[in-house]
């Protein structure tokens, strides 16, 4: 059951182009443990051995196999009531994060689903597993955030819910980028 949830969401992230072959990660909370995708796994074709169970508050033998974003997932579970986390690299969202400090959905549905999305990490070194405390703090009162030039972190009670927030942001970013392109074309 758990494996199939990871497989479905991982495949959907990959087929929608929200992660490339070996990027992104998923996790769910199980009490004081979490199940997270393995370091370097392919979300588009996850297998049971790609799911690593480890502690939220402490390391164990499985910890070295976990995603490089483990520290961020742990901080999110420690600071929020999330039961699922998705980290993706949606291209339109990343493009806008390189120019904007906040992404405001342009549709009423998008705005009501995810609200204004802050872009964190401006003038900071952005690396996998970094900014864990900043990201967790921002997700206390938001469903999704952007990390400047890197990607999204979305939370939910289910992976499907975090997936919805990820796709909602990317769809709105696509429309924003298209509108900017059309506006640029009209001014020439």
Q: How many degrees, rounded to 5, is the angle at CA 39 between CA 131 and CA 43?
A: 100
For residues 77-98, one letter each, b for 16 or more C-beta atoms within 10 angstroms of the residue's C-beta and e for the rest, the string is: bebbebbbbbbbbbebbbbbbe
Contact 140, 80 (CB under 8 A): yes
Q: Which CATH architecture has domain 2-186?
A: 3-Layer(aba) Sandwich (3.40)
Q: What is the pLDDT of residue 4?
A: 96
Q: Of 38-52, 62-76, 115-129, which gets the smallest average pLDDT? A: 115-129
Closest CA to 51 of 20, 31, 30, 71: 30
Q: What is the pTM of this model?
A: 0.94
CA atoms within 13 A on the CB side of 102: 9
Q: What is the pLDDT of residue 162?
A: 98
- Residue 188: the pLDDT is 54
């Amino acid at each position: 059951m758990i494996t199939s949830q990871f497989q479905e969401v991982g495949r959907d992230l990959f087929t929608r182009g929200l992660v490339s072959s070996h990027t992104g990660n998923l996790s769910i909370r199980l009490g004081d443990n979490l199940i997270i995708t393995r370091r370097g796994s392919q979300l588009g074709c996850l297998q049971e051995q790609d799911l690593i169970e480890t502690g939220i508050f402490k390391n164990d033998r499985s910890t070295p196999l976990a995603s490089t974003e483990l520290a961020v997932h742990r901080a999110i579970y420690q600071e929020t009531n999330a039961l699922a986390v998705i980290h993706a690299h949606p291209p339109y969202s990343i493009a806008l994060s390189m120019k904007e400090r906040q992404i405001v959905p342009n549709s009423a549905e998008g705005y009501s689903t995810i609200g204004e999305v802050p872009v964190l990490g401006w003038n900071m070194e952005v690396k996998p597993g970094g900014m864990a405390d900043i990201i967790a703090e921002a997700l206390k009162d938001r469903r999704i955030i952007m990390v400047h030039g890197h990607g999204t972190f979305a939370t939910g009670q289910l992976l499907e819910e975090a997936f919805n927030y990820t796709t909602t942001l990317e769809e709105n970013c696509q429309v924003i980028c298209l509108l900017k392109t059309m506006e640029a074309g009209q001014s020439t």
